[in-house]
Structure 1
Amino acid sequence: MGDRGKTRTSPGPRVLLCGYYGEHNLGDDALLATLLALLPPSCLVAVTARDHHQVQAQFGVATCPRGEPIRLLWALMHNQLLVLGGGSLLQDSTSQRSLLYYVALILAARLLGRPVLLWGQGLGPLKTRTSRLLARLSLHLVQGITWRDDQSGAMAAAWGIHAPVGRDPVWSLPRRNAVHSAAGPSAGAICLCWRPTPLLDDAGWRQLENQVIEDARRHRTPVCLVPFHAHQDVALLKACAVRLEAAGLVCQFWRPRTPWDFMEGLASVHLVVAMRLHGVILAAMADRPLLALSYDPKVDAAVTAMAIPSISLADPDGLAALPAAWERARRWRLSPDRLARHHQRNRCHQEMLAQRLV
């Protein structure tokens, strides 16, 4: 996004953006890029981050460490507003410790008199009664909310908390002017954006790999493997590459630096097979033939809304439909009308920021 300070005419509110930023996850980078683009240009921004150098270099913003409570409290004291930006932060599927972290952050901000906004958030999963109680109490403390999906909005509404519902904010990621990105996938490649999941056993992974092998041999195409989350996906994809190369396929690893590099690099790809939600969204926005392997209701919602061919990994018999879904995916293209409706639904995210950051 560059240095936001270059666009300011006069200082605006000081805003602390909190999320899973600087984690070397292209999906979280895309959320941050979208949020920064939608903030009023006069805002003075600080971002919680794990890798400070990556976030500072890529986005030109000040940072503070997300995992150091004293420094985070200091940042709260020196900013006028807290924005929890994108993703699903009020959940206990990662761990209850994660939920407690964000509940404590909201409480600390309110004790300091700082307004709190939940921007483009998902709500849940919340597996325990205690988690649901904590999340419900937290929602009553915040000053503005927009949800990214109907299920989250409905859960909050059942608690008496009504707020606008849009789609995932990354659907509104602005396109950048054409640039020459670093080397991307080979022409015609099958691009795999896979992540670890307990929904697939060894037999399931072999079935997926065999489908890749059959298709790559038939079309005489290479395979490109993209670790969307650099820390979580690499080991899985390296193991897959070993087996694919043993079958005679040409494999390459591609690590795009930014969400825009990823979308632009897909121009020569003939098929994307993605699991991660933002891998699906960015590939769809790049208008590439696309198959989604859904491991989570948030992915189900995205593929249903955009009519993307998909396989539900939660369905024990889902992979039986893999060959037919694969062929449908090769013919899939983005619907401009559906994307326009997503953009219209997502206006609530920008409107909430504009109303609260005057």
Structure 2
Amino acid sequence: MFTSSWGQLEAGGSNIGDLAILVAQARALSGTARLGVLSADPAETERSLGIRGISVRGGRLRGLVSGVLWSSAVVVGGGELVQDRSSLLYTPFNLLPLVLARLFGRPAFCWGIGLGQGRELAPWTPGMIRRCVGFARMSVVRDGPSGDLLERLGIPGHRILRGSDAAFGLCTDWSAGPVLSDVLGAAPRDVSNRRGRLLPLEARRRMGLAGEPPDDAAAAWWASLLDDHLEKRGGMIRLFAFHTGTLSNSDDRVCERVRERMRCPGEVEIVRAGSLEDFMRALSECRVMLTAPLHGAILSVVCGPLPVMVPYSSKGPRFMKEAGLEEFLAPAGEGSREVLGRAWSEAGAAWRTLAASRERLRRLAGLAPGALFESCLREAVAP
């Protein structure tokens, strides 16, 4: 089976959110199907994950075709399947595996997908979603608004399953919160490239067209907020670089810029991806996680910190609502200090409610593997 997870496309980089999704998918399918994924380093993907890496050395389109032809079924997702803010090519590229599956006669399945909302979508994108997602035998969405959008676009309700992000399949490896520590986790992100341009940042850089300067104002805001926390509450700050590499603004560089601007840099460490387990172990030692990346919040619910979301798109608020955490949304501004302070003091009480949401999200994540087997794989393994 071929999955269109893009987390292995960074040569020498990482995408922790996509990696968590892929690891959870592979575990859920263990003993049922052999998984293949596009990879910039197929040997390392095979060695570290036990998943067949399909090389993109000849280009990603060629790799996609090879993956679909190799497979008996095609999985799209998880993650945010469509949005047109980072690049107008993002949505067509993510929907292409569904088109190729149709072209080459392979059954297709959408696993734990999210869909951008409102102005995050170009005027022509809803029509693309209707046609291409319509090729899938079943679509498991990770939040209510994504399912609602598919229904409004005419996807039959019996082919939409409301689940959760695949990464919640990792809950069995980790304990729920609260975490009793003096460590504040933080995951800043430079989103200045999300301007709805045609080419993705990676392509613009190769062509010498990436003229956006680093978002120094955002780095200064994060530094001020974290300094304020240290001065009021002590402890230490752990900065997490969820995405490193060339596909977007690299989080490790943002973390470095934030630390450079802080008055207390000696109380700050940066966590870069080694293994997923090591990254999540460092995360699990934090009491609260202040995060811009969506999977900073998702993986916090998985392994213990109370997430405070600094949203840059609709996917953050959509998840926080699913988890019952809307009160811990902290858009950049003065009000974010109050939200962070409340989360720090009320983490234990918040987890008394969040524990039930975590269990519900874990159960919902478990719906997708069975739906995949029934809709796409049963015929492939039938005698």
Instruction: Tell me which interval the TM-score lies in, with the shorter structure as reference length.
Output: 0.7 to 0.9
Match of residue 172, structure 1, among 157, 169, 175: 169
Deviations 1:103-122 (A, max 9, x none): 43322221211111111111
Range with bigger deviation, 163-172 or 71-80? 71-80
2:82–2:116 CA contact under 8 A, matched in 1: yes
Map 1:166-315; keep pairs closer than 5 Å: 166-176=163-173, 188-198=182-192, 205-231=219-245, 232-244=250-262, 246-247=263-264, 249-308=266-325, 309-313=327-331
Gap change, CA 1:188 and 1:304, over 3 Å in 2: same
Gap change, CA 1:238 and 1:53, over 3 Å in 2: farther
2:377 is matched with 357
Instruction: Give the C-alpha shift of residue 93 in structure 1.
Output: 2.6
Gap change, CA 1:113 and 1:106, over 3 Å in 2: same
Aligned-partner residue type, residue 74 of structure 2 = L
Instruction: Give the C-alpha shift of residue 82 in structure 1.
Output: 0.8
Map 1:80-99; keep pairs closer than 5 Å: 80-99=72-91
Match of 1:83, SS state, is strand
Aligned-partner residue type, residue 34 of structure 2 = L
Query: Distance in 2 between the 1:46 and 1:195 partners?
Result: 30
Match of residue 32, structure 1, among 2, 14, 22: 22
Aligned-partner residue type, residue 377 of structure 2 = L
1:294–1:310 CA contact under 8 A, matched in 2: no
Gap change, CA 1:290 and 1:56, over 3 Å in 2: same
Instruction: Give the C-alpha shift of residue 58 in structure 1.
Output: 2.4
Instruction: Give the C-alpha shift of residue 248 in structure 1.
Output: 5.5
Q: Work out whether 1:65 is the aligned partner of 2:55.
A: yes
For structure 2, list consecutive stretches of 5 or more residues without a partner in the other structure.
176-180, 195-213, 379-383
2:284–2:300 CA contact under 8 A, matched in 1: no
Query: Distance in 2 between the 1:96 and 1:328 partners?
Result: 39
Query: Distance in 1 between the 2:272 and 2:219 partners?
Result: 22
Query: Distance in 1 between the 2:315 and 2:113 partners?
Result: 11
Instruction: Give the C-alpha shift of residue 159 in structure 1.
Output: 1.8
1:50 is matched with 40
Q: Work out whether 1:143 is the aligned partner of 2:143.
A: no
Instruction: Give the C-alpha shift of residue 282 in structure 1.
Output: 0.9
Instruction: Give the C-alpha shift of residue 201 in structure 1.
Output: 6.8
% identical equivalent positions: 20
Gap change, CA 1:202 and 1:350, over 3 Å in 2: same
For structure 1, list consecutive stretches of 5 or more residues without a partner in the other structure.
1-14, 179-186
Gap change, CA 1:233 and 1:158, over 3 Å in 2: same
Q: Work out whether 1:132 is the aligned partner of 2:126.
A: yes
1:159 is matched with 153
Instruction: Give the C-alpha shift of residue 40 in structure 1.
Output: 5.2
Instruction: Give the C-alpha shift of residue 129 in structure 1.
Output: 2.9
Gap change, CA 1:128 and 1:273, over 3 Å in 2: closer
Gap change, CA 1:40 and 1:269, over 3 Å in 2: closer
**RMSD after superposition:** 2.6
Aligned-partner residue type, residue 164 of structure 1 = L
Query: Distance in 2 between the 1:98 and 1:312 partners?
Result: 27
